[in-house]
Structure 1
Amino acid sequence: MPPDAVLASLLSPLPEILGAVVAGGLIGLEREWRGRSAGFRTHILVALAACVLMQAAVRQDAWTLSGLTTAQITTDPVRMAHGILTGVGFLCGGVIFRTGFSVHGLTTAASLWISSAIGTLFGVGMSGLGMVAAFATLLILALLRVVSRLLPARTVVYVSLSWERGREDVRRTASSLLRGCDPRARGGEQRLSADDGMWRRQWRLKVTDAALDDLAERLADLPGVRGVQVDPRET
């Protein structure tokens, strides 16, 4: 192959690859700033991998298939796109985890998945749609968070209490107190420890930031309570 042809083949996919890297980097930068598990480099790699694989799929005429000179080959880049999005779905599962009532990492998993979709768009030459998708993703991740903060501030809180076995009055009093903060407070896991004979129970409720400040202290002052954990979580 002449040097000019080699150079042209190297430079022709460069705009799409750079676009995917920039789009993935911008989304990853927002996640990195939020301190999420998948950040700047991860999103770049996901978008880049999707772009490169799609570039390979749409350029199958350049593949080395000397051993298949008599075969008829049908190209279908859509199958590559399906494989990319399915594979990234397994990667997204690694950033999702559950603690008690709460499930964390859903937004980061979604940002990884949309990064792969954006990389796929750049890979097939749909750079305009890829840039629009990247801008929309950043708008949702960054600016809509500001909008949510302007709404009445209520924090999702997971409360864990422990008390001595036989003290049903503690459970009733704690439930009454928590439902006073949030009438929709919902009880969850209950566990009796064989080691110390303590009952442990969890609740999920939404409270204002002002009520959150003294909730733990009010629970700790309840007669019979031996342990308190108040865990604010982002949904």
Structure 2
Amino acid sequence: MLEQIRSEFMSVGYWPVEVLLIRVGGALLLCGLIGLERETKNHPAGLRTHMLVGLASTVYCLLMLELVQRTGELPDSVRMDPIRVIEAVTGGVAFLAAGLIVFAKGEIKGLTTGASLWLAASVGLCCGLGLWALALIATVPALAINRLLKIVEDKTL
């Protein structure tokens, strides 16, 4: 019995622990960079929120990949659609992002922060899938858009 319990907690699934750590760590770092930019501008969803969204997206993605690997162990009556994980993450984060958007005194506030949360979810999914180039290609412009274009906007308005 004790061996079964030990086996249960020592099992990491299909992916080696090192791969899991790299993917989760990458999501935390990249989404943290996006969140840090929001944090430095005193927006409601900052560093922690973006890191948690990226982490959750990565974990959901890794769970989906694990289930796909276990397909052969499941009965024929079980059908899987991995795209549903991406749809669920997108819908869940869109709900969070919508909660940040406020219309007050004739102005819309929180729209960019909501969009950056949505982007953080996609970066987390990229990290979960091990699509590092796409994760970086998405993060770098996001930082530039949030930081550099804001400077341009402030100077022109």
Structure 2 match to 1:120: 125
Structure with higher helix content:
2
**1:111 alignment counterpart:** 116
Structure 1 partner of 2:29: 22
The answer to whether structure 1 residue 100 and structure 2 residue 102 are counterparts is: no
Give yes or no for the alignment of 1:129 onto 2:129: no
Which of 134, 144, 147 is 1:139 aligned to?
Answer: 144
Q: 1:44 aligns with which of 46, 51, 54?
A: 51
Q: Secondary structure at the match of 1:103?
A: strand
1:209-220 matches, within 5 Å, as none
Q: Which amino acid aligns with 2:89?
A: I
Structure 2 residue aligned with 1:11: 18
Percentage of pairs with the same residue = 33
* 8 Å CA contact 1:85, 1:113 repeated in 2: yes
Distance change >3 Å, CA 102–CA 6, structure 1 → 2: closer
Matching residue of 2:3: none
SS for the counterpart of 1:59 is helix
Residue 82 in 1 paired to residue 87 in 2? Answer: yes
Q: Deviations over 1:92-129 (max 9, x none)?
A: 12211111311111011001001001111111121110
Cα separation, 1, equivalents of 2:68 and 2:83: 16
Q: What SS class does the counterpart of residue 13 from structure 1 fall into?
A: helix
After TM superposition, the structure 1 stretch with the greater mean CA deviation from structure 2, 97-106 or 27-36, is 97-106
Aligned length: 148
More strand by share: 1
The Cα shift of 1:72 comes to 4.4
- Aligned to 1:80, the other structure's residue is in SS state helix
The answer (yes or no) to whether the contact 1:57–1:76 under 8 Å persists in 2 is no
| Compared CA separation, residues 6 and 54, structure 1 to 2 (3 A) | closer
Please say if 1:59 is aligned against 2:66: yes
**Higher RCO structure (Cα 8 Å, ≥6 apart):** 2
Unaligned runs of 5+ in 1: 154-235
Question: C-alpha deviations, 1:190-231, integer Å up to 9, x for none?
Answer: xxxxxxxxxxxxxxxxxxxxxxxxxxxxxxxxxxxxxxxxxx
* Offset of residue 9 of structure 1: 3.0
After TM superposition, the score normalised by the length of structure 2 is 0.83
The structure having more radius of gyration, on CA atoms, is: 1
The whole-number CA distance in structure 1 between the counterparts of 2:79 and 2:141 is: 35
Shift in Å, 1:85: 0.4
State the partner residue of 1:150: 155
C-alpha separation in 2, matches of 1:89 and 1:72: 32
Distance in 1 (CA, whole Å) between partners of 2:113 and 2:12 is 39
Q: Residues 5 and 103 from structure 1, CA distance in 2 versus in 1: closer, same or farther, beyond 3 angstroms?
A: closer
